Amino acid sequence: MIRPVLRLSLRWRVAAALGLGSFLITSVLAVATWNLASDYMLRQRLQGATRQAEVNVRLVDESLRSGSDGLTELLTGLTTDPDSTILLFQSGQVVTSGRQIHPDVLPAQLLTLGRDGVPARQRIRADGIPVLAVTQPIDTADGVYVELFPLVQIDRTFRFLSGLLIAGTVLSGLLGVALGWWASRRALRPLTELTGAASRIAGGDLKSRLPMHADPDLAPLAATFNATADALERRVMRDARFAGDVSHELRSPLTTMVNAAAVLRRRQAELPGTSGKALELLTSEVDRFARMVVDLMEITRDDQYGDGDAFEQLDVGDIVRNIAALRLTDSTEVVVDSPSPVVLGDRRRMDRVVGNLLENAERHAGGPVRVAVLHRDGKVRVEVDDAGPGVPEDLRTQVFERFTRGSRAGRRGSDTGSGLGLALVAEHVQRHHGKVWVEDRPGGGARFVVEIPEAQP
């Protein structure tokens, strides 16, 4: 099973790229700042501790050389910090001053270097406190002087600096994402306008246009799109006028054909055999042709003059009841919510929507079994259930297109119709800012659903 790959939108990709770039740049600067600052502060501390240890060891060396009895007091005076420690290794003995620690916490290598006459220093932790251990050899007594300088303050400074740099880096990345989102939103606003205008045109609003921009980069795009939309509108209107003219010109000969077919139908009994069958086929095709011309004229009239509708408040329940009384039998269930739903619309179009849905069920699906008018979340919902086999999923969109009669849908009845009935339904529903679709009816069959915004009281 192939799983779809989750792809971020262009806006999020731009925001993520800018945020990541800001994060990386700030991270490099933060690392450089940390290395420079920490190295400088630590180096200064090491140099200061080393110089102080060198001064202190000279004082201790002089005291040992003179044989003074105040060595302990001297060591106590040299420990100026409560967390500092001085250890004097001499003739197998250890003299300690300041914060008391066990000599074993000192690294053996550090003491070895001191006994070998090599000054050394090393950062260690002594009883949980970070310290700098400085070792100096004592030539007079062949001993080792070790002083531990506390690094608590500098360690706190390092933690504060690192926290500040990390927080600044994260904040910089978040600000980069926010800035990228804002910038991409502004940059993509013309694309959003273009998408909206194209969607409205695809939905039938041929007068939708893009606003003109003063930006030299966007002005050609808006001008080109508007010119294309103008050309498309002119082409559609020209085709609609052509279809309307053809339909109008066909009315006269078609009327003659319908009347002649009616006369021949009354005398069909006098034409036995093949002649009678041919007459039946001829009259049925003439009737279908007449319905097609009437539907085609209505569609072309909507294409040319659809924006001039005079809407009024309509009781959809009354419309359905009136049409049902004329076209439906008592076996068909009619359901109308109370109070009866009201829409703002054109009565002729609404009559045609309900009538065409019922006619579609009668011709192709064994007749309607239920017609309902319901309230649904601020919309008026009209449902027409039929007794047919249902509409396959791959045809549920195509059935509302003009002259669409799929092979499977065509087997739903003996009369295929004009192929414009459901297209007219879709056209009229769209004029009312609604939508229409087909779904499965519980228990079998198809359910055609129309939803139109409910009129506000």
Q: pLDDT (tens digit, 9 = 90+) per residue, 243-290?
A: 666 666 666 676 777 777 777 777 666 667 777 777 777 777 777 777
- Across 120-145, average pLDDT: 84
Which whole-number Å values give the CA distances from 75 to 54, 72, 90, 259, in the listed order?
A: 14, 5, 14, 132
3-state secondary structure of 150: strand
Could you give the angle at the alpha carbon of 288 between the alpha carbons of 282 and 294, nearest 5°? 135
Between 94 and 382, name the one with better pLDDT.
382
pLDDT at 60: 82
pLDDT at 304: 53
pLDDT at 1: 45
Between 200 and 160, name the one with better pLDDT.
160
Backbone torsions φ then ψ of 147, nearest 5 degrees:
-125, 130
CB atoms within 10 A of CB 42: 15
pLDDT at 447: 92
Q: What is the C-alpha separation between 135 and 132, in angstroms, rounded? A: 10
pLDDT at 343: 92
3-state secondary structure of 146: strand
Q: Which of 40-54, 286-300, 334-348, 433-447 has the lowest mean pLDDT?
A: 286-300
Tokens of 318: 């009354």
pLDDT at 297: 67
Decide if pLDDT at 420 tops 70: yes
Q: Do domains 219-305 and 310-453 have the same CATH topology?
A: no
Between 448 and 68, name the one with better pLDDT.
448
Q: Which of 202-211, 236-245, 409-418 has the lowest mean pLDDT?
A: 409-418
Q: Which of 200-204, 316-320, 321-325, 441-445 has the lowest mean pLDDT?
A: 200-204
Q: Which of 32-41, 59-68, 275-284 has the lowest mean pLDDT?
A: 275-284
Does domain 219-305 fall under CATH 1.10.3720.10? My reply is: no
- What would the CATH number be for the domain defined by 10-157? 3.30.450.20
pLDDT band at 88 (very low <50, low <70, confident <90, very high): confident
> For the chain, which residues make up each domain, given as ranges?
10-157, 219-305, 310-453
Q: What fold does the segment set 310-453 form as a domain?
A: Heat Shock Protein 90 (3.30.565)
Whole-number mean pLDDT of the chain? Answer: 81
Q: Which of 134-143, 281-290, 313-322 has the lowest mean pLDDT?
A: 281-290
- Across 393-420, average pLDDT: 63
Task: Using the structure block, give the residue that is written with the tokens 């940059």.
Answer: 187
- Across 52-67, average pLDDT: 82
Decide if pLDDT at 413 tops 50: no
Task: Using the structure block, give the residue that is written with the tokens 């531990």.
Answer: 148
pLDDT band at 411 (very low <50, low <70, confident <90, very high): very low
pLDDT at 414: 43
Decide if pLDDT at 409 tops 70: no
Decide if pLDDT at 326 tops 80: yes
Q: What is the C-alpha separation between 344 and 316, in angstroms, rounded? A: 10
pLDDT band at 408 (very low <50, low <70, confident <90, very high): very low
Give the sign of the dihedral formed by CA 6, CA 10, CA 13, CA 15.
Answer: negative
Decide if pLDDT at 380 tops 90: yes
Between 196 and 2, name the one with better pLDDT.
196
- Across 8-16, average pLDDT: 81
pLDDT at 352: 87
Decide if pLDDT at 142 tops 70: yes
Decide if pLDDT at 45 tops 70: yes
